[in-house]
């Protein structure tokens, strides 16, 4: 198995765990590997992962920046998955302010990861 399918498999493994915790068990998540770094730009910033939640359909695509994610350790990958899933939760609020959503997501990721790691 080449590195990319392994990476995607690892990322996909974190999804049901956090989907369950966050009440997204009914959702369908599709991992989309992005091999070209040019595809991984969002408002001029290169992301590790990004998502496009369609909460009405309980479905989200998780875009994976393969190049960046290969540089991350397991905890960092898990935190990225958690980050994207939290965007799915918040998508239901249809927050218009992208910056405050980003801020809330970061706060929650830190809180959850501290709890999981017993810190
Ligand atoms: Zn984000």
pLDDT computed for residue 29 by the predictor: 98
Please determine, for residue 28, whether its predicted confidence score (pLDDT) is greater than 90.
Answer: yes
66: containing domain: 3-116
Please determine, for residue 1, whether its predicted confidence score (pLDDT) is greater than 70.
Answer: no
14 to 42, 56, 84, 89, 99: CA distances (angstroms):
24, 23, 11, 16, 25
What separation in Å is there between the alpha carbon of 83 and the centre of ligand 1? 6
Structural domains of the chain, count: 1
- CATH code of the domain in which 83 resides: 3.30.2010
Q: How far apart are CA 45 and CA 40, in angstroms?
A: 8
- How does the average pLDDT of the chain come out, rounded? 92
Tens of pLDDT, residue by residue over 81-118, are 999 999 999 998 877 788 889 999 999 999 999 887 76
Tens of pLDDT, residue by residue over 51-84, are 999 989 999 999 999 999 999 999 999 999 999 9
Q: How far apart are CA 108 and CA 106, in angstroms?
A: 5
What separation in Å is there between the alpha carbon of 12 and the centre of ligand 1? 18
For the entire predicted model, the pTM comes to 0.90
What separation in Å is there between the alpha carbon of 64 and the centre of ligand 1? 13
CA-based nearest residue to 69, from 4, 118, 2: 4
pLDDT confidence tier of residue 119, bands split at 50, 70 and 90: low
Say if residues 73 and 66 touch (Cβ distance below 8 Å): no
What separation in Å is there between the alpha carbon of 118 and the centre of ligand 1? 24
Say if residues 62 and 15 touch (Cβ distance below 8 Å): yes
What separation in Å is there between the alpha carbon of 38 and the centre of ligand 1? 18
pLDDT confidence tier of residue 34, bands split at 50, 70 and 90: very high
């Amino acid at each position: 198995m080449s590195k990319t399918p392994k990476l995607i498999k690892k990322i996909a493994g974190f999804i049901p765990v956090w989907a369950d915790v966050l009440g997204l068990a009914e959702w369908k998540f599709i991992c989309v590997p992005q091999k070209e770094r040019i595809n991984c730009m969002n408002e001029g910033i290169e992301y590790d992962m990004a998502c496009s939640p369609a909460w009405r359909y309980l479905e989200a695509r998780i875009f994976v920046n393969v190049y960046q994610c290969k540089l991350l350790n397991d905890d960092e990958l898990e935190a990225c998955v958690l980050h994207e899933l939290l965007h799915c939760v918040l998508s239901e609020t249809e927050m218009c302010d992208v910056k405050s959503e980003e801020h809330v997501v970061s706060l929650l990721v830190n809180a959850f990861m501290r709890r999981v790691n017993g810190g």
